[in-house]
């Protein structure tokens, strides 16, 4: 694939940005790579590793002359970054982001972008529980979906370029509306993370009672929960604070379902339990048939790119 953007600026140099840099380089999609991060430590690592061609101290400097700017910071920091870069963007540039929540990011970012700049939000559905500039790898987006989530009409040429960029990094690209995105991702990713955090929290409480048995005898299910619950605390705090409505809706339904199972167990309604578990098993089969996971029995441990 040939070069799509002459100069790409990454704001934030963590798992997603560093994976995009590796994937983009491997496919020759980007000319010059400019990057910046909040802390001097991350910028020093990026310089030392040659992660970017240029590492700047500020976001304002990083975006100068960039054809594509990708915001790769936690959802709650997007608005502040947009306010900083707004006045320095090149006319005709595309600004995108990789935030896990879309409506709140659009509302926080769009007001700061000048006329003539194309804002095209996106969300790669790929991740791991690791973070930072050394956690990225070129294969992260392969055969994973990246959702492009514009808020209404966008320039078709700018959209086609961004789409090609993600396809070049190995992703399957689809379009989605912001509200639909936030509800869908709440079901497929955000609520499961909240449940994993809760389950591991409960086990941590139990550990105090039973010493280290929870760790010692941890079976597959619990170990998978601990992997998910090891995800970055800042990222996930911001996801829930910025997707409140969908969180409330899905948690409400989850609690109802949990109570129906509780009732079935209390009243000995084995048919209800069996029917329920049969239905959920079929969903797992559907995911495997769609090529979004393997049926290897050790799913979740050591599998790269299984997150989000």
- The verdict on 56 binding ligand NAP (CB under 6 A) reads no
Q: Which positions from 231 through 270 interact with ligand NAP, judged by CB under 6 A?
A: 232, 235
**Strands 145-148 and 122-124, bridge-based pairing:** antiparallel
In the complex, the smallest distance separating the C-beta of residue 143 from ligand NAP, rounded to whole angstroms, is 15
The least distance separating ligand NAP from the CB of residue 115, rounded to whole angstroms, comes to 25
33: three-class secondary structure by DSSP = strand
110 neighbors 23 (Cβ within 8 angstroms): no
Q: Is 98 in the site for ligand NAP (CB under 6 A)?
A: yes
Distance from C-alpha of 159 to C-alpha of 153, rounded to nearest angstrom: 10
Q: Which residues pair with 95 in a beta bridge?
A: 69, 119
176 scored as a contact of ligand NAP (CB under 6 A) = no
In the complex, what is the shortest distance from the CB of residue 67 to ligand NAP, in angstroms, rounded to a whole number? 21
Residue 241: helix, strand or coil by DSSP? helix
State yes or no: residue 307 binds ligand NAP (CB under 6 A). yes
Please select the residue that binds ligand NAP; options are 15, 20, 34, 68, rule is CB under 6 A.
15
132 lies in the binding site for ligand NAP (CB under 6 A): yes
32 beta partners: 7
Q: Restricting to residues 203-232, which ones interact with ligand NAP according to CB under 6 A? A: 232
With 0-12 CB in 10 A as exposed, 13-18 as middle and 19+ as buried, what is 97?
buried
| Geometric angle at alpha carbon 15, from 286 and 157, rounded to 5° | 75
Is 62 a binder of ligand NAP (CB under 6 A)?
no
Phi, psi (rounded to 5 degrees) for 52? -120, 160
300 binds ligand NAP (CB under 6 A): no
Binding site for ligand NAP (CB under 6 A): 12-17, 37-39, 42, 72-75, 77, 81, 98-100, 124, 127, 131-132, 232, 235, 307-308
């Amino acid at each position: 694939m040939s070069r799509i953007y002459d100069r790409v600026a990454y704001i934030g140099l963590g798992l997603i940005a560093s994976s995009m840099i590796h994937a983009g380089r491997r496919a020759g999609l980007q000319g010059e790579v400019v990057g910046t991060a909040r802390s001097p430590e991350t910028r020093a690592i990026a310089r030392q590793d040659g992660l970017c061609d240029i590492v700047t101290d500020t976001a304002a400097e990083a975006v100068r002359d960039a054809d594509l700017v990708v915001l790769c910071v936690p959802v709650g920091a997007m608005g502040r970054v947009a306010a900083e870069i707004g006045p320095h963007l090149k006319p005709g540039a595309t600004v995108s982001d990789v935030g896990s929540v879309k409506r709140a990011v659009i509302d926080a970012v769009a007001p700061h972008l000048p006329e003539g700049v194309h804002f095209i939000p996106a969300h790669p559905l790929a991740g791991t529980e690791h973070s930072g500039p050394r956690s990225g790898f070129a294969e992260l987006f392969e055969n994973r979906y990246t959702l492009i989530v514009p808020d209404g009409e966008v320039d078709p040429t700018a959209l086609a370029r961004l789409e090609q960029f993600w396809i070049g990094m190995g992703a399957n690209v689809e379009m989605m509306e912001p509200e639909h995105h936030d509800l869908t991702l709440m079901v497929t990713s955000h609520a499961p993370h909240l449940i994993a955090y809760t389950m591991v929290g409960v086990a941590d409480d139990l550990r105090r009672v039973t010493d280290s048995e929870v760790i010692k005898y941890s079976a597959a299910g619990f170990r998978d929960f601990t992997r998910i619950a090891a995800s970055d605390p800042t990222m996930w705090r911001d996801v829930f604070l910025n997707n409140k409505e969908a969180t409330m809706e899905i948690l409400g339904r989850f609690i109802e379902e949990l109570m129906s199972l509780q009732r079935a167990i209390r009243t000995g309604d084995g048919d209800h339990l069996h029917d329920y578990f049969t239905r959920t098993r079929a969903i797992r089969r559907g995911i495997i048939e769609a090529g979004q996971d393997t049926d290897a029995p050790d799913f979740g441990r050591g599998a790269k790119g299984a997150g989000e």
